Amino acid sequence: MSFRTGPSVFKDRAKVSFDYLPEKLPHREGQLQRMFSIFRPVGDSGLAANAFLYGSVGTGKTHTAKRFCEDFRVYANKQGRGLDHVHVNCRQKMGDDAVLLHILKHFDARFPDRGFSIPEKIDSLRKWLEKQQVHLVIILDEVDVLLKKSGSELVYTFSRFGEEMGKGNVSMILISQRWEAIDRLDAASMSTFRRTNAVEFPKYSKEELEDILRTRVDLALHPGTLDRDIVDLIADVASEYGDARYAIDLLERAGALADEEFAGEITPENVRGAKASVTQSDLHERLAETDRPQKLVLLGIARRIRRKTYITTGEAEDAYGLVCEEFREKRRAHTQFWKYLQDLDAMGLIDAKKSGEGVVGKTTMISLPGIPAKLLSDNIEAMLKRRRSIQ
Ligand SMILES: Nc1ncnc2c1ncn2[C@@H]1O[C@H](COP(=O)(O)OP(=O)(O)O)[C@@H](O)[C@H]1O
Ligand SMILES: [Mg+2]
């Protein structure tokens, strides 16, 4: 067929994609400078250093950490030192073994997925660093997931890396949405992440989001496709969360909607349309990370919690049983059910807490952080049904 075509508002759409790493990060100069103070001994004296970055979603933690490593490498090289960095998303690479494997694949893409124990992997990493003569900065992003799942042993190991030779050759940047993540470290590791090494990432104000958006607009859009008012509108919507990722996502989607109409410019209605589509797709992304049994557990919880704030694990397990019957799935044993709960908790899809006083004994209470139960159950049901029709 011949396609209907027309003007696009984008001159370079990649500049609004979520993995584009900007050269400049307006309003994060302070954080970058703090990180330089913390890491300076790495470049000047070959010592190890560690930092802990915390702040809510979309405050620029991941990109500031990556930008810092890129720029700091140039500094270190000028001091005659080799520097390399690797970014690990602990939400995707769960557990010590998966994290180590990801790091090793950075050095050797063909490093085998199976067949090497954790101590062997650590040894292998040591050899790579010696061979390449580099200091490695490991960014452990969303580190809570790793700490919840495997404890802090790996962080401890990294904090002692290369000490035999008197100087460390591994530094770490730990990233979390919550300051409390640091409480999950053991005492020995905690001492390397003192308050002085913590860098806070506050939410962006509306004015800050406007600056960030304007910089992106210049990079990604043709001139004259976007009114000043629209930047203002997007910044206003996103400032409720102080979230730059949301702001940029809205910009991209609004542009895509404008392109569907070949309008050649973005209208306020496009921004409203973009806003409606974001919530839905964000949830989809997160559910895509769960497997089928986890989805069944989550569906049970979402259905049972509808009109409540919390449910008990007993109630959750009952609801899970009903879901299994409905979808004709084998119901897993209690211990396995517990494991699913812990996984979902680690992924941030549910929040599981030991109840305080008042309730008989100590029971674990489950709540849903921020996601409407109906939206959650509708989406999981659709996903579970779709899967079955393919099989
Ligand atoms: N100060 C900033 N300037 C330009 N872009 C930014 C800034 N802060 C965040 N962003 C962009 O917003 C998105 C989210 O940032 P990210 O670092 O992933 O946030 P976090 O890790 O805190 O959730 C990324 O696309 C990033 O490039
Ligand atoms: Mg991040």
What mean pLDDT do residues 233-260 have?
A: 93
Angle (CA) 343-316-93 rounded to 5° is 10
Q: What confidence score (pLDDT) does residue 388 get?
A: 59
What mean pLDDT do residues 215-225 have?
A: 95
**375, pLDDT greater than 90:** no
**Confidence category of residue 354, pLDDT binned at 50, 70, 90:** confident
376 is written with which tokens? 């959650």
Average pLDDT score, the chain: 90
Q: What is the dihedral of CA 241, 243, 248, 251, to 10 degrees?
A: 10
Angle (CA) 186-352-291 rounded to 5° is 100
What mean pLDDT do residues 212-232 have?
A: 94
Is 357 within a domain?
yes
What mean pLDDT do residues 270-287 have?
A: 83
CA dihedral sign of residues 257, 265, 245, 23: positive
Q: What confidence score (pLDDT) does residue 391 get?
A: 41
Distance CA(297)–CA(192), nearest Å, equals 38
Last residue within a domain, chosen from 173, 200, 227: 200
Domain that holds residue 247: 204-284
* Gap from CA of 274 to ligand 1 centroid (Å): 19
Does one domain contain both 239 and 300? no
- CA nearest ligand 1 atom 17, residue: 60
Percent of the chain with pLDDT over 90: 67
Note the pLDDT tens digit of each residue in 26-43. Answer: 999 999 999 999 999 999
Does one domain contain both 189 and 211? no
Is 1 within a domain?
no
Does one domain contain both 68 and 171? yes
For the CA of 65, the nearest atom of ligand 1:
17
Does one domain contain both 36 and 140? yes
Q: What confidence score (pLDDT) does residue 141 get?
A: 96
Does one domain contain both 180 and 37? yes
Q: What is the dihedral of CA 178, 35, 39, 173, to 10 degrees?
A: 30
Query: Which residue out of 91, 245, 286 has the highest number of ligand 1 atoms within 8 Å of its CB and is therefore the one to mutate?
Result: 245
User: What is the value of pTM for the model shown?
Assistant: 0.78
**164, pLDDT greater than 50:** yes
**360, pLDDT greater than 60:** no
Number of domains in the chain: 3
**25, pLDDT greater than 50:** yes
Query: Which residue out of 29, 63, 64, 139 has the highest number of ligand 1 atoms within 8 Å of its CB and is therefore the one to mutate?
Result: 63
Q: What confidence score (pLDDT) does residue 191 get?
A: 75
Last residue within a domain, chosen from 269, 284, 299: 284
**Confidence category of residue 282, pLDDT binned at 50, 70, 90:** confident
Does one domain contain both 51 and 133? yes
Note the pLDDT tens digit of each residue in 184-214. Answer: 888 877 777 776 799 999 999 999 999 999 9
Note the pLDDT tens digit of each residue in 301-351. Answer: 999 998 888 899 999 999 999 999 999 999 999 999 999 999 998 888 898
Bridge pairing between strands 198-200 and 50-54: parallel
For residue 363, the domain's CATH number is 1.10.10.10
- CA nearest ligand 1 atom 18, residue: 62
Last residue within a domain, chosen from 284, 305, 336: 284
**Confidence category of residue 366, pLDDT binned at 50, 70, 90:** very high
Is 7 within a domain?
no
Does one domain contain both 298 and 274? no
Q: What confidence score (pLDDT) does residue 387 get?
A: 61
* Gap from CA of 175 to ligand 1 centroid (Å): 13
28 lines ligand 1 (CB under 6 A): yes
List all residues 6 or more positions away from 25 whose beta carbon is below 8 Å from its beta carbon. 32, 60, 63, 64, 67
